[in-house]
Amino acid sequence: MTTPSDPLLEVEHVVKHFPVRGGAVLRRAVAQVRAVENVSFTLTTGETLGLVGESGCGKSTLARLVTALHPVTSGHIRFKGQEVTTLSRRQMRPLRKSLQMVFQDPYGSLNPRRRVGSILGDPFAVHGTLSRGQVKKEVQDLMARVGLSPEHFNRFPSEFSGGQRQRIGIARALALRPELIVCDEPVSALDVSIQAQIINLLEDLQDEFNLTYIFIAHDLSVVRHVSDRLAVMYLGKLVETGPVEEIYSRSRHPYTASLLSAVPVAATAFRGTRKERVILSGDVPSPVDPPSGCRFHPRCPKAQERCAREEPLLEQKAGDLPGHLTACHFPVEAGEMLAIASREAPATAAPVATAADARS
Amino acid sequence: MSLFRADAGIEETEDHDVGADADPTEIVGRTPWQLAWTRLRHDRVAMVSLGFIVFLALVAIFAPLLTALIGHGPNAQYPNTGLSLSGIPVGPGHAGFLLGTDDQGRDVLSRIIYGSRVSLVVGVGATLVSLVVGMVVGLVAGYYGGWIDALLARFMDILLSFPILLFALAIIARFGPSLELVLIVIAMFSWPYIGRLVRGQVISLREREFVEAARALGSSDLRIMFVEILPNLLALAVIYATLLIPVNIVLEATLSFLGLGVQPPTASWGNMIAEAQNGDLFTVAWWFLVFPCLALILTTLAFNLLGDGLRDALDPRHGRSQMTPKSKATRRADAKGRAEAKDRAQAKAGAATAGAEA
């Protein structure tokens, strides 16, 4: 049963429902928002898992479950073999040293009324036994490590730019030398040129400290650039997971295929090779009342009667590499055109420079 | 207002430029409080109010010294010099009584000076007590939510719905009037104002990402409440406390007026007004009614105007409307600032071309 290298993080059948409360006086739960539904994956040390999906599909909720900011409704999360879902906040505290998070909004994740030195001193104040002088030295080392001037420790967050603030957020996550950092859309609030800098910083830090990342994003080019493996979520469920290049070249789930076909291609040399663009009709259904069977079936170009009835399992499909799992009854075959695919006029393809493009 | 703000912007960029040239360790950003003070300094009304309050505080602190200088004690009666032959109080300026005397021949000025002590001790003291209690209760209620919040919020609502005066009268009548009791009773009924305000703020602040970040670091609830959230509440608390002080001063005066506050012969503005209007001597000797009233009104006004100014200074987004005409001084400062900025820009451009030529 044991794999040669024990996984750093195991997520098994994790479910998170948020109650929708109604009623003026008694506030009974009248419905459940099924934010995360039966999600499982594992992570090994040094790996980067890219987590993609539309807004509201449960990516951020999953991130907060993994970092134990929200309790799970059911399921198991094991970090370095230790079950974390049953730990109290006090018991969880020592584990937090090795399990950190970088937040999406660099303007909201730093306390506007505190100086940067004090914000970065927090990890030591909460966990450490360092003296005041040592903390100051550590903070300045951290600032230098993420590319900020250590002399700026006396400034307030408002005196920094968005990219600099995100560096502060990364420094804070890095302070206690964690093993796993969950990055919740760390670059989506930043300018494209700054995105590349931050991603390079994250990659350098990964090499230096042997970090493991869960990298949440909706920019697929960024995810492709940083990730080793990819997990695609739709409406709270994993629909496809596998090695990143495998998924980008041979996506099996119709949702993944349509998602990837929407990535703009910047280099004209590749224009001819790009896939047909799949336009999905309709909106993401409400997670309060998700569709029966496969949750994607109302929007799926390949949907059949069975899809509405029977929920597909996340499993390896014939001809796929091990580790490439798809939850679909009728996976996309190589070279197949999806039904409502429409050809995109080349002139409308807006060239979008991404971090990946900038580096290549 | 907008021009003024643009001016402040120039100042800020200046700071950064200077910092970049100077020794890097010299860079010290201005705190939000320093920025607020800069803005407040340009608000003439608020500065005059602040000046008056500081003056009043000094008067209250040095009351014994001042009355010794005047030569009239606050409770001493001067039947020979302070009252005319027919027993009418002497008017302002007569026989060394700057603000006249009252019906018992006491110096109105000395009594007002001593009365300021009562007003400030009760007004500021009760507000400080309400501030501490209100902040703690508001923080706990807003942060924890759920049944704790429901309980505390209802309790505050109940206190606020009490007829304060009636209840205060009952308590003081039961335990006997004293300065301490007046202070406690006033604080008891004014902390829910702060508590409710703080609770509302905390409910919105606790959803902010920096609170989540603190939780992800493993910070305790206490640490999150007092290290993360509290600093974000201070500006609001300072504003509302400043506006609560005059309310409490008036409440003390009201209680004294009704005979349940500070007991005669100890002077308080409230009981001075009560004594003055008790009878119809004030129709001929207006001064011993008008001057205590004036002291009360000016003090209340000063605190209210300072509170308004603080609100503008601490939270410029909700500043007073842009219709406010700018004072001449501000306009002059603006013009000067612009001219200076222009000069600097020219000097810099000159230096750049010189550098290029070299």
* Domain closes at, from A156, A175, A194: A175
In a domain, residue A104? The reply is: no
In a domain, residue B352? The reply is: no
- Residues of the domain holding A235: 9-98+176-359
Provide the shortest C-alpha distance from residue A248 to chain B (in Å).
Answer: 33
Same domain, A69 and A182: yes
**Could you say which DSSP state residue A13 is in?**
E
What confidence tier does B317 reach under pLDDT thresholds 50, 70, 90?
Answer: low
- Separation of alpha carbons B108 and B287, rounded Å: 8
In a domain, residue B61? The reply is: yes
Same domain, A169 and A236: no
In a domain, residue A146? The reply is: yes
In a domain, residue A62? The reply is: yes
In a domain, residue B212? The reply is: yes
Same domain, A113 and A92: no
What confidence tier does B341 reach under pLDDT thresholds 50, 70, 90?
Answer: low
In a domain, residue B351? The reply is: no
Counting residues of chain A whose pLDDT is more than 70, the rounded percentage is 86
CATH classification at residue B110: 1.10.3720.10
Q: What is the pLDDT of residue A335?
A: 66
CB B322 within 8 A of CB B1: yes
Q: What is the pLDDT of residue B101?
A: 82
Q: What total of structural domains would you count in chain B? A: 1
CB B41 within 8 A of CB B309: no
In a domain, residue A3? The reply is: no
Same domain, A136 and A181: no
Q: What is the ipTM of this complex?
A: 0.82
Same domain, A328 and A290: yes
- Positive or negative, the CA dihedral B328, B330, B331, B333 is positive
Distances in Å between the Cα of A140 and the Cα atoms of A160, A168, B28 are: 16, 11, 15
Q: What is the pLDDT of residue B168?
A: 87
Same domain, A190 and A324: yes
CATH classification at residue A265: 3.40.50.300
Q: What is the pLDDT of residue B245?
A: 92
| End-to-end Cα spacing for chain A | 40
In a domain, residue B185? The reply is: yes
Q: What total of structural domains would you count in chain A? A: 2
Q: Indicate the pTM of the whole model.
A: 0.77
Chain B, 181 to 240: residues with Cβ < 8 Å from chain A are: 208-210, 212-220, 223, 227-228, 231-232, 234
Same domain, A247 and A210: yes
Same domain, A62 and A188: yes
Is B29–A154 a contact, with Cβ atoms under 8 angstroms apart? Answer: yes
Provide the shortest C-alpha distance from residue A101 to chain B (in Å).
Answer: 7
In a domain, residue B2? The reply is: no
- Separation of alpha carbons A219 and A221, rounded Å: 6
Same domain, A116 and A94: no
What confidence tier does B20 reach under pLDDT thresholds 50, 70, 90?
Answer: very low
Same domain, A194 and A269: yes
Q: Which residues of chain A have a CB within 8 Å of the CB of B228?
A: 111, 114
* Domain closes at, from A157, A175, A193: A175
Question: A117-131, A219-233, A341-355: which has the minimum mean pLDDT?
Answer: A341-355
* Domain closes at, from A135, A154, A175: A175
CB A142 within 8 A of CB A174: yes
pLDDT digits (tens, 9 = 90+) for A151-196: 888 888 888 988 899 999 999 999 988 999 999 988 888 888 888 8
Q: Which residues of chain A have a CB within 8 Å of the CB of B208?
A: 108
**Considering CB atoms only, which of B27, B214, B223 is closest to A152?**
B27
Provide the shortest C-alpha distance from residue A118 to chain B (in Å).
Answer: 10
Does residue B27 sit at the A interface (CB-CB below 8 Å)? yes
Same domain, A211 and A299: yes
Is A103–B217 a contact, with Cβ atoms under 8 angstroms apart? Answer: no
Q: Token pair of A343, please?
A: 């050809």
The H-or-E segment that residue B116 falls in is helix B108-144
Is B29–A156 a contact, with Cβ atoms under 8 angstroms apart? Answer: yes
- Residues of the domain holding B125: 31-341
Q: Token pair of A259, please?
A: 């998602």
What confidence tier does A347 reach under pLDDT thresholds 50, 70, 90?
Answer: very low
pLDDT of residue B53 exceeding 90? yes
Does residue B266 sit at the A interface (CB-CB below 8 Å)? no
In a domain, residue A296? The reply is: yes
- Within 10 angstroms of residue B244's Cβ, the number of other Cβ atoms is 26
In a domain, residue A284? The reply is: yes
Same domain, A26 and A152: no
Phi and psi angles of residue B194, each rounded to the nearest 5 degrees, phi first: -65, -45
Distances in Å between the Cα of B326 and the Cα atoms of A2, A217, B51, B334, B339 are: 76, 49, 21, 10, 18
